[in-house]
Structure 1
Amino acid sequence: MLTRLLEVLLIEALRSTAGPTSPPGLLRGLSDDRLAAALRGMHDKPARPWTVTELAFEANLSRSAFFDRLRRALGVAPMAYLLHWRMSLAGNLLTQRELSIAEVARRAGYGSTSAFSVAFSKYARVSPTSYARREVTALAP
Structure 2
Amino acid sequence: MTEIPQDHGQHPQSADDNGNSTDHAPNYGTHYGIVLVTAGSETEAETIAAQLVEAHLAACVNLIPIRSIYTWKGEVHRDPEWQLVIKTDLRQFDRLEAKIRELHSYEVPEIVALPIVRGSEPYLNWIAEQVNG
Q: Which bin holds the TM-score, normalised by the shorter protein? A: under 0.3
- State the TM-score, normalized to the length of structure 2: 0.26
Higher relative contact order (CA 8 A, sep 6+): 2
- Which structure has greater helix proportion? 1
- Which structure has greater strand proportion? 2
- State the TM-score, normalized to the length of structure 1: 0.25
